[in-house]
Amino acid sequence: MNIWLYTIVSVLTVSAASLFGIIFLQIGHKDTTGIVAVNEKWINKITPHLVSFAVGGLFGDAFIHLLPQAFDSRGSKLATSLYIIAGVLFFFALEKFIRWRHCHVLEYEEGSNRSLAAMVLIGDSIHNFIDGILIGASYIVSVPIGISTTLAVFFHEIPQELGDFGVLLHSGYSVKKALIFNFLTALTAVAGAMIPLTLGAGSADFAILALPFAAGGFIYIAGSDLIP
């Protein structure tokens, strides 16, 4: 029961990192009614910088966090490399499919980029799901290891989530909508944590396989969409 409690508190704490974008709601101006509203001019000015920040966050997460952890695992180095390529190809195909639906089915406001937003949300959901598995599996080993894993995940989530928030703004989302969607994707960590708690530490093997796949997705999103 203690392990369950520690794990749930930990993944909810990590999920709260997605709300760091709430600071943008505090920077506003008073409208005619005296209510503080979001300063759209300031948001439009800072968004390109957040998108650039997101590039560093995604590349950093892929090359400094996910890939070293994947190659240090028990799996084959060749298989790990193939999973990275699979992640790149999956998000390439996903982008083409979403853009096809954009052109043939959906209508969005001019200047929005919902295909990019969808890919970022899907990629972040996979990433947070994996983090949840790792946190849950760590607590099964011991509470101190679980706490150290939680701290490591939390501190790399802050720049990641702030960058994702900027991408959602760039894609046409309002500040409040970007916050909500960012938080919902963060909650997939809770679902991920349930797997090792119910199935045991062996389920962490799934996370090891998924790490290079998520890294490939981040590399594709940052290199093919955000940098251009």
C-alpha closest to that of 212 among 51, 90, 118, 54: 90
Q: What's the pLDDT score for residue 23?
A: 66
Q: Cα(1)–Cα(191) distance, rounded to whole angstroms?
A: 17
pLDDT at 11: 92
How do the pLDDT tens digits run along the chain, 228 residues long?
688 899 899 999 888 888 876 666 555 544 454 444 455 666 677 777 877 887 887 888 889 878 888 888 767 889 889 999 998 998 888 777 766 554 444 444 444 567 788 888 888 888 888 888 878 877 876 788 788 878 878 877 777 787 888 888 888 888 788 888 988 998 999 998 888 888 765 555 666 677 788 888 888 888 887 788
What DSSP line would sit under 188-228, residue for residue?
HHHHHHHHHHHH-GGGHHHHHHHHHHHHHHHHHIIIIII--
For residue 81, what pLDDT is reported?
93
- 174 vs 13: CA distance, rounded Å: 24
Tokens of 176: 């409040």
Whole-number pLDDT of residue 108: 42
Other C-beta atoms closer than 10 Å to the C-beta of 32 total: 6
pLDDT at position 205, please?
Answer: 66
Query: Residue 9 has what pLDDT?
Result: 92
Choose among 197, 204, 161: nearest CA to 9: 197
> Residue type for 91, please?
F
Could you tell me the pTM of the whole model? 0.66
Q: Which two tokens stand for residue 186?
A: 């963060």
Euclidean distance between CA atoms 54 and 70, whole angstroms: 22
Can you give the pLDDT at residue 101?
Answer: 54
User: Which pLDDT value is given to residue 85?
Assistant: 95
